[in-house]
Chains A and B, each alone.
Chain A
Amino acid sequence: MDAAADRLTLSIPSHPRYLCVLQGFFGNLLASLGVSSYEVMRVALAVHEACANVIAHSYQGDTGQRIDLTVLLTPEALVVEIRDYGLKPDLAAIQPRALQDVRPGGLGTYFMRSIMDSVTYDVSLDTGTLLRMTKRWSMSCTSP
């Protein structure tokens, strides 16, 4: 995607117990880059929600699958790619619910889109989906 990017990879089983790994991984990585603790929390939440959606929807709760994450640190942005090999999402159905509709569920997608600058789904792969989320570096989220 970007020849100048530093690239990190992480693979986790599709079990909810391993979602906590993401907080440590992204927390330590972004803090080491000088990102504010507030933005660290937000980005970790967005990635967590994306992987939780993969477990719940793409893998339908099957805990024996794999989620592969690739992190690209470019001069302009943080890019997080989340690859799964499960069911492809119905893109028309992925809509954050209205916030005034206060009820359990449906907030994860809203969080991802609120926190990150872009969220895109590539469903053209033979199997599964590649979700790509981008967060541009800013005052509180500075370039490495």
Chain B
Amino acid sequence: MHVAIESPQPGITVVRPQGTLDMNSVPAFHHVLEAEVQRAGRGVIVALAEVTFMDSSGIAVLIEGLRWSRGRALPYVLTQLTPAVQMVLELARLEHFFTIAESVEDAVARIAQAS
């Protein structure tokens, strides 16, 4: 799986997984996400616009990301949920567990407000 990394503002990292987020790709994404949470100074945004399929292991790594972020007292925001991602979050009843923003810009604004 390919994961794009962006930094729209200093200290804010946008992590963009691309393709399928499942048992096959999650180990690599887990590694990238953990490293980016450790590197971020102000907050982490996971932009899911290019995730075409996600399974329970994908949810698990998103939960891990939140825990790592909480451990560092960093805001952690999901954004650009595709229908496939939205469906899985709703099925797990986790749509209110995460902070979810409409767009990357909205997510950046939330983090800027919090920091």
Contact = CB atoms under 8 A, between A and B. Distances in A.
A42 B92 CA distance: 12
Contact of B83 (A41, A48, A115): A41
Contacts of A45: 53, 55, 87-88, 91
Contact of B56 (A16, A42, A107): A107
B93 A99 contact: yes
Interface string A17-41: 1011001000000000000011001
Contact-size category for A: 20 to 34
A111 B97 contact: no
Interface residues of B, number: 22
A102 B70 CA distance: 14
Contacts of B61: 104
A52 interface: yes
Interface string B66-110: 000000000000000001100110011110010000000000000
A83 B57 CA distance: 22
A108 B92 CA distance: 10
Interface string A107-137: 1101100110000000000000000000000
Contacts of B87: 38, 41-42, 45
Contacts of B84: 41
Contacts of B24: 16-17, 19-20
Interface string B12-35: 000000001011100000000000
B111 interface: no
Given A23-B53, A48-B55, A52-B57, A115 B91 contact: yes
Contacts of A23: 20, 53
A110 B91 CA distance: 9
B40 interface: no
Contacts of B88: 45, 111
A137 B91 CA distance: 20
B4 interface: no
B23 A19 contact: yes
A102 B93 CA distance: 10
Given A45-B91, A104-B63, 19 more contacts: A16-B23, A16-B24, A19-B22, A38-B83, A38-B87, A42-B87, A44-B53, A49-B55, A52-B22, A99-B93, A105-B56, A105-B60, A106-B56, A107-B56, A107-B59, A107-B60, A111-B55, A111-B56, A111-B88
